[in-house]
A = this chain, B = another copy of it.
């Protein structure tokens, strides 16, 4: 197996200015694996759910080429639940309720075939669990990790340990500033890369994303959407498209990383157009191709070698 994804499987209850969804399939691993499945199959997924988790949800994941043998089902437990409400501008949200349930005692066990995965994606989850996963991988070539403010503030030592063991961290701009205490993103990025990851992606929501690789910086635009329906899972979907693209490409270099960021951004632009995972359920490769063409148009211009005609002055 080429790609192994670890994270949460959840039921989300979401309110946006445009409507609400109750007990919708969510969780970092669900979004990441589904997005990645458009690039590479099978995608191994590791997580935990309760007896209340609908068999149809696992069946859906399998229909996308996701190997769910790493999903532990605790018949007597309840699935992790999150409830949130987005503000009018969709840039901020309030968490209304968090029920860890089976996640509270999750002890991830990676099925044997998945331990050979070359690409590993650690979705947003307790850094201690991310470490337990890494301990089980035999020969990972590229490890990408997501996190959030809750772990940056709550378990900083464990998170720092994770950072020494991953190749790439994906966080958003406010999390980067929180992690380093530095407002300038370029300085903040350098500080984070000194903590371990040699590749860093800083997501900026409607302003796109920055990719740092050594001194090289790539600025990816966000797709200008006239209506964003539900931002939930956009970051996880980005991560899924990103790692999925790399796993498909089979090699990680300055060029594949740039294209991976664009592919992740394209997948995320679909995600926010509908509630929950709905927009990711039946995408076609042709639709993704069209969106990638639109992304190309968004940032492309013809470069002039000597725009001012006089480089000597």
A286 contacts B262, CB within 8 Å?
Answer: no
A286-B301 CB under 8 A given contacts A224-B210, A227-B184? no
Tell me, yes or no, whether A275 is within 8 Å of chain B by CB.
no
Residue of B nearest to A288 (CB): B308
- Contact between A219 and B307, CB atoms less than 8 A apart: no
A88–B219 Cα gap in the complex (Å)? 24
- Nearest Cβ distance between residue A56 and chain B, in whole angstroms? 23
Complex CA distance for A303 and B255, rounded to whole angstroms? 10
Q: Does A214 lie at the interface of the complex (its beta carbon under 8 Å from any beta carbon of B)? A: no
The A245-296 residues at the B interface (CB cut-off 8 A) are 245, 248, 255, 258-259, 262-263, 284-286, 288-289, 292, 296
Chain A 130-144 residues near chain B, CB threshold 8 A: none
Say yes or no: A299-B302 contact (C-beta < 8 A), given A311-B286, A311-B289: no
A219 to B225, CA, bound (A): 13
Q: Which residues of B contact A248 (CB under 8 A)?
A: 308
Output the nearest chain B residue to A257 by Cβ-Cβ distance.
B301
* Residue ID in chain B nearest A284 by CB atoms: B313
A222 to B311, CA, bound (A): 23
A88 to B218: give the CA distance in the assembly, Å: 26
Chain B nearest CB: distance from A200 CB in Å? Answer: 12
> Interface readout for A216-228 with B: 1 if CB under 8 Å, 0 if not?
1111111011111
B308 near A219: Cβ-Cβ < 8 Å: no
Q: Nearest CB to that of A91 among chain B residues? A: B183
Contact of A259 with B312 at beta-carbon distance under 8 Å, contacts A186-B225, A210-B224, A219-B221 already known = no
Contact check: which of B255, B289, B297 meets A308 at CB < 8 Å?
Answer: B289
A89 to B187, CA, bound (A): 13
Decide: B313 and A285 in contact? CB cutoff 8 A: yes
A57 at the interface (CB under 8 A from B): no
For residue A306, CB closer than 8 A to chain B, the reply is yes
B227 touching A301, Cβ below 8 Å: no
- Find the B residue at minimum CB distance from A261: B301
Known: A220-B299, A248-B308, A285-B311. 20 other contacts (CB 8 A): A89-B183, A184-B227, A185-B224, A208-B208, A208-B221, A217-B298, A218-B299, A218-B301, A221-B221, A221-B299, A255-B302, A258-B300, A258-B302, A259-B301, A285-B310, A286-B313, A288-B308, A289-B311, A296-B303, A300-B303
Enumerate 17 A-B pairs (CB-CB under 8 Å) in ascending A order. Answer: A184-B228, A204-B207, A217-B224, A218-B298, A219-B224, A221-B221, A245-B307, A248-B308, A255-B301, A262-B301, A285-B308, A285-B310, A289-B306, A289-B307, A289-B308, A292-B303, A292-B304
Contacts from A to B (Cβ < 8 Å) = 38-39, 88-89, 183-187, 204, 206-208, 210, 216-222, 224-228, 245, 248, 255, 258-259, 262-263, 284-286, 288-289, 292, 296-304, 306-313
